[in-house]
Chain A
Amino acid sequence: MSYSDKVIDHYNNPRNVGSMDKASTDVGTGLVGAPECGDVMKLQIRVNRETNVIEEAKFKTFGCGSAIASSSLATEWVKGKTVDEALSIKNMDIVKELSLPPVKIHCSVLAEDAIRAAIGDWKKKQESSKPVSVEAR
């Protein structure tokens, strides 16, 4: 099995590796997969509260080359998008971009899950920090 040039490129030059402060209300963290499965992705986003635009994204991945490339690509793609635009990223887009073979499609699915999990986490934080409205008498 040989890798596509794009997968190799992401593996050799991964984009946006790193971590953000999990506790910050601007940050959404998605942690998906399991060590027993050989795939764990952590994807984090920082969202501008006013514009809902993802201004920064970081990732870390335990997994094969295709998994690393999928999550690296995911951070590239979500940056600059609004949260809702990012939700429209589909795993098959990743498969196409990286020319993933059938046996590696699950890596792209996990990356899509990671994006959703990060956005979900951020949204939950926004819900819980909303001021409670008091009904006027």
Chain B
Amino acid sequence: MSTDVKIPQASTQAHHPDAKGVKLPIYMDNHATTPMDPRVLEEMLPYFMEKFGNAASRNHSFGWAAEEGVETARERIAKLVGATTKEIIFTSGATESDNLAIKGVAEMYREKGNHIITAVTEHKAVLDTCKRLEKYGYRVTYMPVQKDGLIDLDDLKRAMDDKTILVTIMAANNEIGVLQPVTEIGKLCRERGVIFHTDAVQAIGKIPVDVNKQNIDVMSITGHKLYGPKGVGALYVRRKNPRVQLSALIDGGGHERGMRSGTLNVPGIVGLGKACAIAQEELPQESCRLAGLRNRLRDRIMNRLDETYINGSMEHRLPGNLNISFAYVEGESLLMGINDIAVSSGSACTSATLEPSYVLKALGTGDDLAHSSIRFGIGRFNTEAEVDYVADRVIETVERLRELSPLYEMAKEGINLKDVKWAGE
């Protein structure tokens, strides 16, 4: 006797009569990048063909006009984070900013010590930079995180010694959206005389950031996560209490107070500035709206489906982030089923290295649930109708794939999958 399973046809918008007002495909992957805000583009346009001068050309109006655009942007960024304009330097993006911050501090303070502390859940731009420094003889401590994704402040305290020169911990995680206790980390570092760098790429414009209130010494910022252009970013470098110095990575002309040579990407910088100005204005209402949409998505999905697990703390989390594992369903097959929606997964099948997400692994999430995870990044341009559509498509695809899943079948029969001796182990 065999049981035939009728698999419903994969559905499309045509099957959803109430999908009005939903334009496909839907973009809900705002942690990967964001669409540019039209106001940002408008602000940038004059700097391509009219005010196209080199901002370093001191002697003519073309240069002055470009410089003015740059300095306005610098002010806007400084204002958003509570810094002074002299403390903002421009780079090609967050990866460069992270490299400059970490390598720059490491080299400058080599006489003082060679120990750096970071966390296992950092972005590769930080982790790979630390790995390179290890090759040059620096000692790096990669702190673990707790089940909710947060570091333990007592662990950090214990990890610090008299050779520690830098702590680098991100303000908000790109995969699980978890917010680290930046203010407390900064306070601890200030007490111990250790420089504190934070990769604030996912946090800027989404949650309030203040370099003084939060005791931040160095901070990485990028444009393309806050509706600004790709290829441009900034680095905050504290000038007072304490004064932080960096060794430059790039030599050639001494731009940006000697910290970052190279002709400035004026249109990009103008765009970054405008994006920050918009964020400054709209942050409170926007973060409230996004949290509402995110909770709506979460509740709609989790009220319908069982065995779904949120990865990372819900309490300390970016308002637009949701990262859920759907047991017994593999992530890439789920993405395939919702192919009119852009999100991402922690599954090995979706990564370039064929490894499951190291961030989920650090939380203690089993590999099987890491393979079953989906990251949703709700942003400025997502609507309630889109959230409902996405939730419904996810639900029906998960239900469909569970009918196809031998793991679901075994679980329903009461078999504990952890007790099974798998052929592939």
Contacts and interface: CB of A to CB of B under 8 A. Distances in A.
Interface of A: 3, 8, 11-14, 17-21, 24, 31-42, 44, 46, 56, 58, 60-65, 67-68, 103, 110, 113, 117
Contacts of B366: 35-36
A103 B330 CA distance: 17
B342 to A, nearest CB: 14
Contact of A36 (B3, B10, B367, B406): B367
B406 A14 contact: no
Interface of B: 1-5, 7, 9-10, 328-333, 336-337, 347-349, 354, 356, 366-368, 371, 403-409, 417, 422-425
B51 to A, nearest CB: 41
B424 A32 contact: yes
Contact of A60 (B331, B336, B406): B406
A58 to B, nearest CB: 6
Contact of B424 (A3, A12, A39, A44): A39
Pairs A-B, 4 closest by C-beta atoms: A35-B368, A34-B424, A34-B422, A36-B367
Contacts of B407: 35, 40, 62
B371 A117 contact: no
A12 B368 contact: no
A18 B4 contact: yes
Contacts of A103: 354
Contacts of A44: 2
A61 B349 contact: no
Given A38-B349, A117-B423, A61 B10 contact: no
Given A33-B422, A34-B423, A56-B2, A65 B7 contact: no
Nearest to A12: B10
A33 to B, nearest CB: 4
A35 B422 contact: yes
A60 B409 contact: yes
A36 B425 contact: yes
A18 B328 CA distance: 16
A65 B336 contact: yes
Contact of B423 (A21, A33, A68): A33
A109 to B, nearest CB: 11
A17 B8 CA distance: 11
Contacts of A34: 422-425
A62 B329 contact: yes
B159 to A, nearest CB: 30
A36 B354 contact: no
A8 B348 CA distance: 20
9 contacts: A14-B404, A33-B423, A34-B422, A36-B425, A40-B406, A44-B2, A62-B328, A64-B330, A64-B333
Given A18-B3, A110-B424, 13 more contacts: A11-B333, A17-B7, A18-B2, A20-B2, A21-B2, A31-B406, A31-B423, A33-B422, A38-B349, A61-B404, A65-B333, A68-B333, A103-B354
